[in-house]
């Protein structure tokens, strides 16, 4: 068995969402916006089982934003995002804290220096 196998490590993901408006008429955009606000008013963060939401922010135009979540079950993110797929385009990117990346990058730099010498 590989070291660490069997243990589920919690991962962070940055979810970027954009409210879908392109190609819709004015009336469709108004109706979609009203439906999204109604649906969102019924959302309860505590009901997102297996998902910790660290930040949920909007861009200044109110047309999209970012949600930083943490989970050890990617299906929890799928369940969360799927609720809003009718209105939003969503991109989910796994991320690491900078403090975790720095030693990895330093090791990669050390390797590259050694590997590039004849």
Q: pTM for the complete prediction?
A: 0.83
- 51 touches 76 (CB < 8 A): yes
For position 28, what pLDDT does the model report? 96
CATH (domain of 109):
3.30.70.1060
Q: What is the DSSP letter of 44?
A: -
Average pLDDT, the chain: 93
96 belongs to a structural domain = yes
For position 59, what pLDDT does the model report? 97
Q: Which domain holds residue 74?
A: 11-115
Number of domains in the chain: 1
Give CA–CA dist 67/23, Å, rounded: 26
3 belongs to a structural domain = no
16 belongs to a structural domain = yes
pLDDT confidence band for 8 (50 / 70 / 90): confident
């Amino acid at each position: 068995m590989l070291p660490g196998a069997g243990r589920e490590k919690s991962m962070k993901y940055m979810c970027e969402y954009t409210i879908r408006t392109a190609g819709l008429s004015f009336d469709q955009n108004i109706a979609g916006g009203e439906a999204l606000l109604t649906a969102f008013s019924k959302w309860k963060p505590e009901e997102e089982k297996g998902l910790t939401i660290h930040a949920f922010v909007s861009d200044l135009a109110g047309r999209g934003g970012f949600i930083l979540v943490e989970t050890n079950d990617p299906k929890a993110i799928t369940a969360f995002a799927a609720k809003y797929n009718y209105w939003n385009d969503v991109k989910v990117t796994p991320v690491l804290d900078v403090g975790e990346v720095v030693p990895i990058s330093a090791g990669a730099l050390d390797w590259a220096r050694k590997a590039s010498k004849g």
